Structure formats: C-alpha cells, structure tokens
Amino acid sequence: MAEKKKTIGILTSGGDAPGMNAAIRGVCRKALLNGWRVVGIQRGYSGLLNEEMFEMDKHSVSDIIERGGTILGTARCPEMRTEEGQKQAADICNAHGIDTLCVIGGDGSYRGALALSRRGINAIGLPGTIDLDIACTDYTIGFDTAINTAMEAIDKVRDTSSSHERCSIIEVMGRNAGYIALWCGIANGAEDILLPEKYDYDEQRIVDNIINNRKHGKRHHIIINAEGIGHSTSMARRIEAATGIETRATILGYMQRGGSPTCKDRFYGSVMGAYAADIAAAGKKNRVIAFKHGEVVDFDIEEALAMTKSIPEYQYQISIALSR
Ligand code: ADP
Ligand code: F6P
C-alpha cells in the first residue's frame, strides 16, 4: 500500500514583511518536490482557528515573488495566547492531517509555534519581520526592503529640510527594536539617531548638537527616531522652542512595510523557505530557520526563543562618531 503523503501547512503571522511571498513560494515548491502535500492557511493563527485553508499546488505561488505583503494574509490573534486557543489550533492541525506547520513571522509568532510544538505538532519558524529583532538570526526577511524604502524617503525629506534650513525628526518603524533606525541613521548620515535600546532622553544634548551644527553652517539637522521612542511631533515642538529653528516631524509609518521586496529579501525568503521544507522532509522537529555567519542554519525553537540579541556596540559607536 502506498504511504500516506505528509502534509505541511504554511501561515504568515504578525506584521507582514516584504519577502514573505518568496518564503511561501520556497516552502510550497520545495515541499511539493519532496512529495509532500501543501496547505495554505489564511490570516495567520486566526485563519487556522477558523479552518481557513486551501490546497496549494505549484501554480498557487506563481507570480508572487515580486509582490509585497503576503498572499496568505496575516493577523494578530489573541486567542492563540490562551491554552484553549492553542489546544484548538493543535486539534485543527491534526484534523486536517497537518504534520508540520511552517510559521513565517516574528518572535511572537514563534511563541505560538512553540505552543503547538508542545502539543505534538511539528512547528518550523521562518524569520519574517522588518524589525530584524529575532535573536537567533542575523537576518530577517523584510528588513532589507524596509531599510531601503526608509532610506529613500529620508533622502527626500532631507532635500526639503536643507532647502528650508529646518531640523527634521523622521520616525521609522521598530516597536521595541532600533535596527531600522540604526541602519538608516548611518546610511542617511543623520545628525542624531535615537534607538529605544540606547536613548537616555537627554533632549538638551540634541538641542546643543543642533545649535552647534548650525553655527558651523549645517543647513539641515536630521534626527532619526525609532517608533519605540515615538512622540516625534511633541519632540519637534520642544526642539523648535529650544533652538528657534523650524522643526518638523515626519512619521514614515506603514510605507516601510510594503512594496516589492528587494533582491536580498526575495533570495533569503526563497532559500530559507526551501530549507524549511527540506528539514521537515529530513524529519527534523520543532526548529526555526536562521541566517548565521553567512549560512542558513536551524535551531531548536525553544532554544532560539531563549536567545537574546542587542544592538552591536561598535555599529552604535560608529553611528555617533560619523554624525559629529
Ligand atoms: P510578530 O510575530 O511579528 O512578533 P506578534 O508579537 O504580534 O508579531 O505575534 C503574532 C501572533 O503570534 C499573535 O497575534 C499571537 O497570535 C501569536 N503569539 C504571540 N505571542 C504569543 C505567545 N506568547 N503565545 C502564543 N501565541 C503568541
Ligand atoms: O512588523 C513589525 C512592526 O512593523 C513594528 O515595527 C511595528 O511596531 C508593528 O509591526 C506595528 O504593527 P501593527 O500592524 O499592529 O500596527
């Protein structure tokens, strides 16, 4: 008798990220090549709990690699944080014959995957977030597109800021993490870079910096502020009052999360997606995929979630040194 086909389910969860579609495509096509059945689950864990799923074939992922967002849709799902929600989700996976669930998202989504793994579902996490804040990996799918989108926007704000000899506070995404702010701060040559992990709330230092730069003939002053610090509009009002220099706030917002993925996000999405399908086929259980020291690798999901990471100190020091 022919052996029953194994089934891999794919869902995207948490904030969407450019390159998630490449990852979906990578998992789907490689799993099919490995002889697996593939099920797409819509709207993250919410869709799983509502059994919103469909059979995928290789054509289900045609013409998606260049598209931003996620064709599966995503959602935040509070029920998944509860024991009942997790039990129901595991029961639904079993009822639909899903042996392995591939979760593309950030570390919150990984916690949902861990909960399922503890209830006997093989869970595999793929790092999909623009924030770069997953500890076990040097790279997360979506980060490259987001920083390039933000960088181009910041260049544009800088043009008008220089013309009007204004100070600009530009807020970039990153609820708890300053990686987008750090990268854009360095890449855009910002005068001040405020990271949630490092900011000491010393506004007087920023004011002194602006006044000093103006004395030396600088026509603009760009402050990159991370979303985790926020309050850019009130900060602009206070800085304008203290310096006498017109100061405007620009909040870049969701534009950073959308758009066609860069080559790097398509590449890593594809390779990590295929890798997820391959480790599932090799019988590995409860893993998360990561990019470490130039290689795609995998870690135990529980160990991965216990890891920590922080802003690289040298990069932070350089961001300050070059802005002076
Ligand atoms: P991200 O995955 O980008 O970090 P969130 O933190 O919003 O985004 O998490 C996405 C979803 O993952 C949540 O809406 C919830 O369904 C699930 N999730 C988050 N944290 C947990 C947790 N501790 N236990 C179970 N599921 C969780
Ligand atoms: O996906 C990460 C992220 O974009 C964070 O940078 C941001 O704080 C958060 O998601 C915003 O999420 P929401 O879509 O719930 O507003």
Q: Which structure tokens are listed for 41?
A: 């689950």
Each residue's pLDDT tens digit, 26-44: 999 999 999 999 999 999 9
* pLDDT at residue 7 in the model: 97
Q: From ligand 1's centre to the CA of 112, what distance in Å?
A: 6
Domain match, 43 and 188 both: no
* Span from the CA of 175 to the centroid of ligand 2 (angstroms): 7
| pLDDT at residue 50, rounded to an integer | 98
Residue 143 pLDDT level (bands cut at 50, 70, 90): very high
User: Could you tell me if the CB of 309 is within 6 A of ligand 1?
Assistant: no
Position 48 pLDDT exceeds 60: yes
In the set 16, 131, 265, 298, the catalytic residue is: 131
pLDDT in tens, 194-236: 999 999 999 999 999 999 999 998 888 999 999 999 999 999 9
Across the range 46-64, mean pLDDT stands at 97
How far does the centroid of ligand 1 lie from the alpha carbon of residue 16, in Å?
Answer: 13
* Least distant ligand from the CA of 146: 2
Same-domain check for residues 98 and 122? yes
CB-CB contact of 111 with 85 (8 Å): no
Report how many domains make up the chain. Answer: 2
Confirm or reject: Cβ of 108 under 6 Å from ligand 1: yes
Contact 238, 207 (CB under 8 A): no
- Do 191 and 128 belong together in one domain? no
- Asked whether residue 156 carries a pLDDT value surpassing 80, the answer given is yes
Ligand 2: residue whose CA is nearest its atom 6: 174
Q: Residues of the chain with pLDDT > 90: what percent? A: 95
Alpha carbon distance 47, 135 (integer Å): 27
- Same domain for 282 and 134: yes
Give the residue ranges of DSSP H helices in the chain.
20-33, 44-49, 83-95, 107-117, 143-163, 179-187, 203-215, 232-243, 263-281, 301-306, 313-323
Query: Is residue 17 scored above 80 in pLDDT?
Result: yes
Rounded Cα–Cα distance for residues 75 and 79 (Å) = 11
Checking if the pLDDT of 3 tops 80, the result is no
**What pLDDT shows up at residue 95?**
97
| pLDDT tens-digit map of 254-303 | 999 999 999 999 999 999 999 999 999 999 999 999 999 999 999 999 99
Q: Examine the domain organization and report whether 149 and 79 are in the same domain.
A: no
Interacting residues of 214 by C-beta distance below 8 A, sequence separation 6+: 221, 243, 245
d(CA 12, CA 174): 19
| Within-domain flag for 25 | yes
Same domain, 92 and 162: no
Ligand positioned closest to the Cα atom of 181: 2
- Ligand number nearest CA of 125 is 1
CATH of the domain at 219: 3.40.50.460
14 CB within 6 A, ligand 1: yes
Q: For residue 122, what is the domain's CATH number?
A: 3.40.50.450
Nearest CA to ligand 2 atom 15: 15
Q: Which amino acid is at 104?
A: I
Q: Judge whether 323 lies within some domain.
A: no
Looking at every residue in the chain, the average pLDDT score rounds to: 96
- The answer to whether residue 313 is domain-embedded is no
At 1 the pLDDT is: 57
Q: Which protein residue's CA is at the shortest distance from atom 13 of ligand 2?
A: 15
- What atom in ligand 2 is closest to the CA of residue 17? 1
Report which residue type is found at 151: M
pLDDT in tens, 74-119: 999 999 999 999 999 999 999 999 999 999 999 999 999 999 999 9
Does residue 321 fall inside a structural domain? no
> Could you tell me the pTM of the whole model?
0.96
Same domain, 12 and 138: yes
Residue 315 is assigned to a structural domain of this protein: no
Q: Answer whether 227 contacts ligand 2 (Cβ < 6 A).
A: yes
Domain boundaries, position 85: 7-142+261-306
Q: Is residue 123 part of a domain?
A: yes
Are both 218 and 112 inside the same structural domain? no
Which residues have a Cβ under 8 Å from the Cβ of 189 and sit 6 or more positions away? 222, 322, 323
Residue for token pair 């893993």: 287
Is 144 one of the catalytic residues? no
Considering the domain architecture, whether residues 266 and 138 belong to the same structural domain is answered as yes
The residue written with tokens 């600088």 in the block is 218
Q: Are residues 247 and 277 in the same domain?
A: no
pLDDT of residue 122: 97
Are 130 and 12 within one domain? yes
Residue 77 and residue 211 share a domain? no
Asked if the structure places residue 107 within a domain, the reply is yes
Residue 314, domain member (yes or no): no
User: How many whole angstroms separate alpha carbon 308 and alpha carbon 305?
Assistant: 8
Categorize the per-residue pLDDT at 2 as very low, low, confident or very high, splitting at 50, 70 and 90: low
**Residue whose CA is at the smallest distance from ligand 2 atom 16:** 15
Residue 128 has pLDDT above 80, yes or no: yes
pLDDT at 4 exceeding the cut of 90: no
